[in-house]
Amino acid sequence: MPEKAQHLSVGPGIDFWPGYFSSAEQRTLLDEIMSRVAHAPFYTPTMPKSGTPFSVAMTNFGTLGWMSDKGGYRYQAQHPVTGEPWPDIPPVLLDAWNILTGYGAPPEACLVNLYAAGAKMGLHRDADEPVRDAPVLSVSLGDTAQFRIGGPARKDPTKNFPLASGDVLSFGGPARMAYHGVTRVLSGTSQLIEDGGRINLTLRRVTRP
Ligand code: SIN
Ligand code: MN
């Protein structure tokens, strides 16, 4: 973490550390991610019932991975295409979880979302975790996203702000069930990812420690 890493409170339960990871740390983290993606490739999730494909591609690290397909939203221990267990969570992300959340147990899931040009994510809540006393910790790499986060009701007003490469955000406590999403990704704002685009990692505790 750069010594200048600052902490901003966006709202109750919403904490923001812009530039938490330096450029060199972002590059190392991206290498750690891509070496795992070689074994657990990105796939296109589909919506329950309709089967409509997501615009983001996904994979997971950790003992549990978040899934969406015709069978619904759920956590499972294996990659849906390879049938293999998910790769481990990069240690630098576990360190960030320990330092920034102070939660007494490690995250079990690290959802990896890949946003190519034009991809976005509609307003939703992270609601598939039986344990809600841990925050969700989000790490952004690559192109800047326009992020929005509101309250526990879909109609609650949202705060909109950019998430740039190296930024870390957490939402927990009164914001744990806040609706959030990505309105758009600003192509060409980062050179980190060779083909452009954005990677977001969300770390979550799923089961009771
Ligand atoms: C998510 O909510 O799963 C992703 C949020 C983001 O991409 O910043
Ligand atoms: Mn989410």
Instruction: Name the nearest CA neighbour of 66 among 9, 19, 125, 118.
Output: 125
Amino acid making up residue 116: A
State whether the beta carbon of 200 lies less than 6 angstroms from ligand 1: yes
Residue 112, domain member (yes or no): yes
Q: Give the position, in ligand 1's atom list, of the atom nearest the Cα of 198.
A: 7
Amino acid making up residue 88: D
State whether the beta carbon of 182 lies less than 6 angstroms from ligand 1: yes
Residue 45, domain member (yes or no): yes
Pocket probe for ligand 1: among 10, 139, 202, 204, the residue whose CB has the most ligand atoms within 8 Å is 202
Residue 132, domain member (yes or no): yes
Q: How many domains does the chain have?
A: 1
- CATH code assigned at 37: 2.60.120.590
**In this predicted structure, what is the pLDDT of residue 72?**
95
**In this predicted structure, what is the pLDDT of residue 4?**
58
**In this predicted structure, what is the pLDDT of residue 3?**
57
**In this predicted structure, what is the pLDDT of residue 206?**
98
Which residues constitute the domain of residue 59?
A: 8-204
Share of the chain above pLDDT 70, in %: 98
pLDDT profile of the chain (209 residues), mean per 10: 78 98 98 98 96 97 97 97 98 98 97 96 97 98 98 97 98 98 97 96 98
Residue 1, domain member (yes or no): no
Residue 119, domain member (yes or no): yes
Residue 2, domain member (yes or no): no
**Cα(200) to centroid(ligand 2), Å:** 10
Residue 3, domain member (yes or no): no
**Cα(18) to centroid(ligand 1), Å:** 16
State whether the beta carbon of 145 lies less than 6 angstroms from ligand 1: yes
